Amino acid sequence: MLVSPPLFFEYEQVLARPEHLAAAGASQAEMNRFLDVLAHVLTPVNIHFLWRPQLNDAEDEMVLEAAVNGGADAIITFETATFAGPARSFGIDVVTPGPVLSRIRP
């Protein structure tokens, strides 16, 4: 799993929102611990080239940039229509989480 520094900062901001903490049933301290663990399992990607604009949403652009600059095989998302055309132009597949999870579950 790839992440750029700006994308990880976006994760931190989004997961700290009260509505997301409530939905997860987590405190801010628990979410911070989760983010610490997540930071250790993600592969950091430095952004050498900005490919903007490709998408309508700046946060989505960060996902595409991390994928392109990190040499990703796929973007795993529920927003397949958002990423399909631009990602495929870089040779990156776009798939939903279900098929990926079914491949890694015993």
What pLDDT sits at residue 105?
Answer: 76
pTM of the model: 0.85
What pLDDT sits at residue 6?
Answer: 92
What pLDDT sits at residue 88?
Answer: 93
Name the residue among 45, 64, 46 with its Cα closest to residue 54.
Answer: 64
Find out if CATH 3.30.70 is the number for domain 2-104. Answer: no
> Which distant-in-sequence residues (6+ apart) come within 8 Å of 49 by Cβ?
65, 68, 69
Spans of all domains in the chain: 2-104
* pLDDT (tens place) for every residue of the chain, 106 residues total: 999 999 999 999 999 999 999 999 999 999 999 999 999 999 999 998 877 888 988 889 999 999 999 999 999 999 999 999 999 999 999 999 999 888 887 6
